[in-house]
């Protein structure tokens, strides 16, 4: 999955990324057919199964002399 994240001035990269990852997963009809909108970065205490959780976001700069980029790696866990 490739996402472009635009962080607003003073915004939180992690928060924007979490919102955009969740939005991308919800936009995938294969995912929502199975899970509806049960896609979380932190599932609620009394979560309804089945759901997907994404976690362990790790950010790594991949800047070059001509561009500024960040690669983000994260886990996606399916729980049923």
Task: Kindly list the distances between the CA atom of residue 44 and the CA atoms of 21, 47, 52, in Å, as whole numbers in the listed order.
Answer: 18, 5, 12
- Tell me the two tokens of residue 71: 């690669």
The whole-number average pLDDT for the span 23-34 is 89
Stronger pLDDT, 14 or 49, i.e. the higher one: 49
The pLDDT tens digits of the residues spanning 62-78 come to 788 887 777 778 888 99
Asked whether residue 38 carries a pLDDT value surpassing 80, the answer given is yes
Q: Is the peptide bond before 5 cis (omega within 30 degrees of 0)?
A: no
Domain boundaries, the chain: 13-79
Q: Is the peptide bond before 31 cis (omega within 30 degrees of 0)?
A: no
> What backbone phi and psi angles, to 5 degrees, belong to 17?
-65, -45
């Amino acid at each position: 999955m490739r996402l472009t994240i635009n962080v607003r001035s003073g915004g939180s990269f992690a928060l924007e990324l979490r919102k955009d990852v969740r939005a991308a997963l919800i936009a995938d009809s294969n995912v929502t057919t199975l899970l509806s909108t049960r896609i979380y970065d932190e599932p609620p205490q009394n979560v309804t199964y089945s759901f997907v959780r994404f976690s362990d976001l790790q950010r790594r700069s991949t800047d070059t002399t001509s561009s500024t980029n960040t690669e983000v790696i994260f886990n996606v866990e399916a729980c049923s």
